[in-house]
Amino acid sequence: MKQFCGKCHAGPSDIGGHEDLYVHSFVGPSVVLKCRTCDTFWTRKPAKDHSFEWVASTGTQGILVPFGA
């Protein structure tokens, strides 16, 4: 079973999630972010109330961001 770091266990929030997340790829209107601490992937998608929904996911979908971009 996946072991989350403390920040991922608490769950990301707002637009940035938490300071250890970085953008990994894009999937339509969603963004896949990866945690530098525990390697968890999170998908952030727009919510109807103009906030964001966060779902733990796999990093196997999306368009990778070019290195050095």
Mean pLDDT value across residues 26-54: 92
Question: CA 60 to CA 25: how far, in whole Å?
Answer: 9
Token pair in block for residue 30: 């969603």
Does position 58 have pLDDT exceeding 80, yes or no? no
Does position 67 have pLDDT exceeding 60, yes or no? no
Three-class DSSP category at 52: strand
Please say whether the beta carbons of 54 and 68 come within 8 A.
no
Question: CA 66 to CA 60: how far, in whole Å?
Answer: 16
This prediction's pTM: 0.80
